[in-house]
Structures are given as structure tokens and as C-alpha cells.
């Protein structure tokens, strides 16, 4: 079993097509006729542009204009006057077209690949794509052609470039495995648009998986199995058909109210990482945003985003979501989220160190820029501010005091904002859970961050395989903590939501209903499934199950009881 990043949900089972890039090596030779060499380059360029335009037209017809727009970048990099001039003057100075093209695009590739901003780094793949296309034309070689594939192919590539994906015949591809790429890479964006299960960043995939191997791609969990056993095949075939059936059946929940089996309304909202993700939230029928991880805005920049830049991003989400609630979490830096230009000192124990609200309260002027931007955006929708990693009452008091200062500044500047903006806190530390009753007097709402809460409660790092048995939401200690937090909020009459991954766990939902959770914030593709599961449980049924579950002593017993009940 190989682990990677879950690029696109679903289970794919098929036969590996290991697509290794063509050999584009050449021996540089000085051209005898400079003009003829430039004409050779021009012809290759025109052919590349024509092929790319044809791909764009195909993509527009199959996966829509937005994804096709990605290929426009290829045309831009191919037609860029600066690059063309560099290539032509290299040829004039005695280089062959292959070498001139290669050196010019390598220079741009290195420039993009070394940028701090992940989005710019991803552009390096586009540059490499243009170079490959032009070189292949000049050398008369075929680039990997994924347009003619046998049925049920699992495409295994080092890097899935946009041009490869444009050609993929959706009907024939059962899954994609790559050696590179993150969730914001073009490969991931297009794989999701195509709804092809994909696992990215699987180490040495093109060598450990052999052409013709039977392969299972579990895009939901980021796992790949090569040459599965019969038992694994049976298991994943049934998972695949369950996934397909569930997906089709879930459409019945689109546009429906989110209610429990006995008609109690709960809020079902989405977790997003950047303003454009609001589209996915809307597409999947979310009722708002329960967590906008604002740190991605900071991670995607090369320096601190200004008040205006932040305002534009927050306003965009507020406007897209119309008047639905949008909870924006203030900068959650540190731990596993590094922002190079903040130059945070290396710590022995970064997960327990200088991070999130601790960092922000120590850098008040910087924090006030974000708070002011959030306040300004609150004039355009139902924005709420959420403070991460709170462990003590004074942190929320201090954050609130800063918000009041920002409001006074905005009054002076004559800029409008929502004077009654809600300020909530994440509950993701055992300390916050233990003083949840006190925090509930200071906060307008809670959102439980189970991703961190489980780790801190169980003293178990989620990334460490050896302690994975402890990192479980079903651990009795975690369940008791959840109960305590939710009932503190219920008693104080404030809204309590959950934005950790556990909110989308179908097994846990009856327990959360029983505890009295008001809001479920999940990844957009989990919206309809969560709405369905919520509709299956009445409070009475959920209470009966939860009462039993709370008597159990181990995570395994809890999970088994929840699985039995779900069946």
C-alpha cells in the first residue's frame, strides 16, 4: 500500500498505464542556416499553438470553460514576446532551435519553481509543458498520449501536466496516480473537475507501480494498492459501487433543508481555504461557510497581505455566499503551517509553541490589519470572526479588545462595518474544553476543531503511524470532551459547531446530534452525504445509541457500536 495526498475523491480500480515521458534528449549542433532554423522554431511554435487551441476546445466541451482556461497559460507562455525574442536571439548567436527553446524555458521554469508562493510554483508545470511540447515537435517525438487508452486505465505519471489531462478520455480512466503535486496543483484541480479518483505525491510511483499492474486508487483516503489481493479487490469493488450509488442517491438531498430525522434544523456549512473555494461550497449546496482558513491567504503570498488585499478576499467570499453565514478564522500560523516570510524561530515543540492566537496577540499591529479587513468585509455579508487555538479566557478578551480598537479606528475613518459582528472561538485544546463554560460567557459561538483536539487530548500526533491507534475521535476521552464542550455552549445559549474532519464522519453524527451540535462544517464534497446522514437519526434514537456508547471503555468498542448502529 502506498500513501499520498487525496487529490480527488472516489475509488478507481484498473490496470496501470505507466506513462513515462518521451526521451527528448538531443545533441546541440550549430545550425548552418540561421533563418531556416528560426523558421523551424516558428513552425513548431505554430503547431504547438494549434494543438493547444484544439485541446482547449475539447476541454470546454467536456469539463467546462474554467478548467480549459488553465490551458490558456500554455498559449501565453508559448507566445510570450520576451521568451520568443530570447529564443530567436539564441538561434542567431548560433544555437540550434532545440537548445534555444530548452534554455529559455528552463530559465523560466527555475524562476517559477523557486518562488515562495505555491500558486506561482505550480506555474512551473505549465512552463515545463510548453517546453516539452515544443521540443517534441522539433524532435519529431510523440508526447505521452492519454487520449487513446484501454478501458479502466489507471494513469501513473510523474507529473500530470494540464496538457495530458486535456487529452484524457474520461470514460477510459479509472484513476490517476502522480509522484508530484498538492491539492492546489492543476492536476488536482482538473482531476476533481473530471471527477476521476486521484492520489498525488506518491513517492516513486512510476517505478514501484509497473505497467500492466492491477491497481486500486482510493482517492478519498489518499491510498494506492498495486497488485491487490482477491480480498482487497472484493473490498474495494464494493467500496467503489457504494461510492457510485451513494453519489447518485445524494442528489436527492440537493436544495433540501438540513434537518434531523425528527425535523430539527441544523446548519450544514463548508470548510474553505481560499475565496474561490466559495464556488465549491455553493456548487455542493452548503448553507454558508463554517471555516475559512485565512492562513492560506498568507501562505500564498510572498509578504504580509495588506489590509486592502485581505479585505478584497474576505469581501469576495461574503458577496459570493450572499447573506449566508461566513466564519473566517484569523491567522492560524505555526505548528504544521509555516509562513516563511514571518521568520518564526525554530522551536523544540512547535505544536505547543508560539502559534495561532498566541503569535497574533504578540504581534498586535499585524493582527489589527487582519481584524480591520474582516470588519470592513462584514459590511458586505454575514461575516463572523473566529479565534484559533484558544486555551484561556484572557486570549479571547484580548482579541475582543483589539477588535474594539479596530472598530474605533474605522469609525474615525468613516468606514462602515457590522457593529454587532459575532466573535467566536475554536475549541481545539483540552484547556479550552475544560473551561468551556467560562469561554462560553466570552464568545458568541464555538467551533470545535477536532483535528487538533484529538491530538492534544490523546497526546498523539496525527502524522505518527505508531500512535495512530490513539489518534481516534472514538476514544472515550475525546467523546467526553466533545460532550462537555457542546453542553457548555448549549447551557450558555450560544451556537456550537464543529469544523474538524470529524463533523463529516457518518458514524459520529448520531453522537453529535445527541450532544446537541448546532452546526456541521465539512469539506464541500461531503455536504450532501452529511445532510443525508443527519436526516436518518431522530434525537431519541441518537440519545439511546449515545447513552450506550458513553459506557464503552475503548475506541474499538465505540467504533464497533457506531458501525453496528449505522448498518
Residues marked active site are found at 186, 499
Measured from the CB atom, is 152 or 358 closer to ligand PEP? 358
From the list Mg ion, ligand PEP, none, which binds 485 (C-beta under 5 to 8 Å, kind-based)? none
Rounded Cα–Cα distance for residues 215 and 504 (Å): 27
DSSP type of residue 259? B
Residues from 445 through 464 that contact Mg ion (CB under 5 A): 449, 452
Among the listed ranges 31-39, 135-143, 213-221, 428-436, the one in contact with Mg ion (CB under 5 A) is 428-436
Rounded Cα–Cα distance for residues 190 and 194 (Å): 6
Three-state DSSP state, 518 = coil
Measured from the CB atom, is 344 or 379 closer to ligand PEP? 344
> Which among 452, 536, 498, 10 has a CA at the least distance from the CA of 269?
498
Q: Taking CB under 5 A as the rule, does residue 273 contact Mg ion?
A: no
Among the listed ranges 90-98, 141-149, 448-456, 469-477, the one in contact with ligand PEP (CB under 6 A) is 448-456
Rounded Cα–Cα distance for residues 465 and 475 (Å): 17
From the list Mg ion, ligand PEP, none, which binds 499 (C-beta under 5 to 8 Å, kind-based)? ligand PEP
> Which among 83, 78, 72, 76 has a CA at the least distance from the CA of 162?
72
From the list ligand PEP, Mg ion, none, which binds 162 (C-beta under 5 to 8 Å, kind-based)? none
Burial class (CB in 10 A: 0-12, 13-18, 19+), 47: middle
H helix or E strand, kind and range, residue 453: helix 450-458
Measured from the CB atom, is 499 or 562 closer to ligand PEP? 499
From the list Mg ion, ligand PEP, none, which binds 538 (C-beta under 5 to 8 Å, kind-based)? none
# residues contacting ligand PEP (CB under 6 A): 10
Whole-number minimum distance, CB 455 to ligand PEP, in Å? 8
Q: Taking CB under 6 A as the rule, does residue 499 contact ligand PEP?
A: yes
Contacts of residue 340, defined as CB under 8 A and 6 or more positions apart, other chains included, come to 116
Please give the residue whose beta carbon sits closest to Mg ion in the complex: 452
Q: Taking CB under 6 A as the rule, does residue 334 contact ligand PEP?
A: no
Whole-number minimum distance, CB 315 to Mg ion, in Å? 25
Measured from the CB atom, is 45 or 427 closer to Mg ion? 427
> Which among 289, 280, 334, 332 has a CA at the least distance from the CA of 314?
289
Structure-block grid coordinates of residue 455? 491530538
Q: Taking CB under 5 A as the rule, does residue 295 contact Mg ion?
A: no
Whole-number minimum distance, CB 507 to ligand PEP, in Å? 17
Structure-block grid coordinates of residue 250? 445524494
Rounded Cα–Cα distance for residues 395 and 537 (Å): 37
Structure-block grid coordinates of residue 50? 494549434
Rounded Cα–Cα distance for residues 247 and 11 (Å): 12
From the list ligand PEP, Mg ion, none, which binds 500 (C-beta under 5 to 8 Å, kind-based)? ligand PEP
Q: Taking CB under 6 A as the rule, does residue 452 contact ligand PEP?
A: yes
Interface mask toward Mg ion for 388-427; x: CB under 5 A: ----------------------------------------
Measured from the CB atom, is 305 or 455 closer to Mg ion? 455
Measured from the CB atom, is 10 or 388 closer to ligand PEP? 388
Phi then psi dihedrals of residue 37, to 5 deg: -65, -40
Three-state DSSP state, 484 = helix
Rounded Cα–Cα distance for residues 82 and 84 (Å): 6
Measured from the CB atom, is 95 or 386 closer to Mg ion? 386
Structure-block grid coordinates of residue 177? 496516480
Whole-number minimum distance, CB 448 to ligand PEP, in Å? 7
Among the listed ranges 44-52, 308-316, 405-413, 446-454, the one in contact with ligand PEP (CB under 6 A) is 446-454
Whole-number minimum distance, CB 498 to ligand PEP, in Å? 8
Rounded Cα–Cα distance for residues 557 and 561 (Å): 6
Structure-block grid coordinates of residue 215? 491497481
From the list Mg ion, ligand PEP, none, which binds 293 (C-beta under 5 to 8 Å, kind-based)? ligand PEP
Residues from 263 through 282 that contact ligand PEP (CB under 6 A): none
Measured from the CB atom, is 97 or 460 closer to ligand PEP? 460
Grid-cell match 462584514, residue found:
378
Burial class (CB in 10 A: 0-12, 13-18, 19+), 361: middle
Q: Taking CB under 6 A as the rule, does residue 293 contact ligand PEP?
A: yes
Measured from the CB atom, is 291 or 508 closer to ligand PEP? 291
Q: Which of 62, 184, 363, 451 binds ligand PEP (CB under 6 A)?
A: 451
Rounded Cα–Cα distance for residues 143 and 125 (Å): 15
Whole-number minimum distance, CB 501 to Mg ion, in Å? 10
Structure-block grid coordinates of residue 119? 500558486
Structure-block grid coordinates of residue 10? 472516489
> Which among 340, 344, 376 has a CA at the least distance from the CA of 360?
344
Q: Which of 500, 510, 524, 525 binds ligand PEP (CB under 6 A)?
A: 500
CA distances in angstroms from 31 to 36, 39, 105, 345, listed in the order given: 8, 12, 20, 54
Q: Taking CB under 6 A as the rule, does residue 458 contact ligand PEP?
A: no
Among the listed ranges 161-169, 235-243, 372-380, 443-451, the one in contact with ligand PEP (CB under 6 A) is 443-451
Rounded Cα–Cα distance for residues 390 and 383 (Å): 20
**Chain residues in the site for Mg ion (CB under 5 A):** 428, 449, 452
**Chain residues in the site for ligand PEP (CB under 6 A):** 291, 293, 332, 428, 449-452, 499-500
Amino acid at each position: 500500500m502506498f500513501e499520498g495526498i487525496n487529490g480527488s475523491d472516489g475509488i478507481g480500480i484498473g490496470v496501470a498505464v505507466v506513462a513515462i515521458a518521451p526521451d527528448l534528449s538531443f545533441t546541440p549542433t550549430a545550425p548552418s542556416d540561421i533563418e531556416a532554423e528560426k523558421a523551424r522554431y516558428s513552425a513548431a511554435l505554430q503547431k504547438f499553438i494549434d494543438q493547444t487551441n484544439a485541446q482547449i476546445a475539447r476541454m470546454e466541451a467536456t469539463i467546462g470553460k474554467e478548467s480549459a482556461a488553465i490551458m490558456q497559460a500554455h498559449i501565453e507562455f508559448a507566445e510570450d514576446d520576451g521568451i520568443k525574442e530570447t529564443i530567436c536571439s539564441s538561434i542567431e548567436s548560433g544555437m540550434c532551435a532545440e537548445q534555444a527553446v530548452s534554455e529559455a524555458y528552463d530559465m523560466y521554469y527555475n524562476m517559477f519553481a523557486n518562488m515562495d508562493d505555491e500558486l506561482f510554483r505550480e506555474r512551473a508545470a505549465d512552463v515545463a509543458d510548453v517546453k516539452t511540447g515544443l521540443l517534441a515537435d522539433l524532435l519529431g517525438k510523440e508526447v505521452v498520449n492519454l487520449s487513446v487508452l484501454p478501458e479502466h486505465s489507471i494513469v501513473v505519471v510523474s507529473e500530470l501536466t494540464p496538457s495530458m489531462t486535456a487529452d484524457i478520455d474520461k470514460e477510459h480512466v479509472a484513476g490517476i496516480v502522480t509522484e508530484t503535486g498538492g491539492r492546489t496543483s492543476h492536476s488536482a484541480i482538473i482531476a476533481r473537475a473530471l471527477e476521476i479518483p486521484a492520489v498525488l505525491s506518491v513517492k516513486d510511483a512510476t517505478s514501484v507501480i509497473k505497467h500492466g499492474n492491477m491497481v486500486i486508487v482510493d482517492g478519498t483516503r489518499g491510498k494506492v494498492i498495486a497488485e491487490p489481493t482477491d480480498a482487497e479487490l472484493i473490498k474495494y469493488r464494493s467500496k467503489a459501487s457504494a461510492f457510485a450509488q451513494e453519489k447518485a442517491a445524494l442528489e436527492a438531498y440537493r436544495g433540501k433543508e438540513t434537518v434531523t430525522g425528527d425535523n430539527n434544523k441544523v446548519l450544514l456549512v463548508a470548510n474553505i481555504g481560499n475565496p474561490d473555494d466559495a464556488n465549491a461550497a455553493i456548487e455542493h449546496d452548503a448553507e454558508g461557510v463554517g471555516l475559512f482558513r485565512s492562513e492560506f491567504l498568507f501562505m500564498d503570498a510572498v509578504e504580509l497581505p495588506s489590509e486592502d488585499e485581505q479585505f478584497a478576499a474576505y469581501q469576495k467570499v461574503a458577496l459570493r455566499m450572499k447573506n449566508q453565514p461566513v466564519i473566517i478564522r484569523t491567522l492560524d500560523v505555526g505548528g504544521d503551517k509555516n509562513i516563511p516570510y514571518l521568520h518564526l524561530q525554530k522551536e523544540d515543540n512547535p505544536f505547543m509553541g508560539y502559534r495561532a492566537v498566541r503569535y497574533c496577540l504578540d504581534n498586535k499591529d499585524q493582527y489589527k490589519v487582519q481584524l480591520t479587513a474582516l470588519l470592513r468585509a462584514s459590511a458586505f455579508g454575514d461575516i463572523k470572526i473566529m479565534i484559533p487555538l484558544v486555551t484561556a479566557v484572557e486570549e479571547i478578551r484580548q482579541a475582543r479588545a483589539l477588535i474594539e480598537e479596530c472598530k474605533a479606528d474605522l469609525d474615525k475613518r468613516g468606514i462602515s462595518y457590522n457593529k454587532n459582528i459575532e466573535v467566536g472561538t475554536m475549541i481545539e485544546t483540552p484547556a479550552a474544553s475544560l473551561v468551556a463554560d467560562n469561554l462560553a460567557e466570552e464568545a458568541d459561538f464555538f467551533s470545535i476543531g477536532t483535528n487538533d483536539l484529538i491530538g492534544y487530548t490523546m497526546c498523539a500526533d496525527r502524522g505518527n503511524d505508531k500512535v495512530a491507534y490513539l489518534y481516534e475521535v472514538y476514544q472515550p476521552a475525546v467523546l467526553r470532551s466533545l460532550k462537555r464542550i457542546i453542553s457548555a455552549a448549549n447551557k450558555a445559549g450560544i451556537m456550537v459547531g464543529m469544523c474538524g474532519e470529524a463533523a463529516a464522519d457518518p458514524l459520529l453524527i448520531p453522537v453529535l446530534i445527541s450532544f446537541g451540535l448546532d452546526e456541521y462544517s465539512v469539506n464541500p464534497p461531503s455536504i450532501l452525504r452529511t445532510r443525508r446522514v443527519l436526516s436518518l437519526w431522530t434525537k431519541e434514537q441518537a440519545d439511546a445509541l449515545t447513552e450506550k456508547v458513553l459506557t464503552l471503555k475503548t475506541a474499538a468498542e465505540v467504533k464497533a457500536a457506531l458501525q453496528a448502529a449505522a448498518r
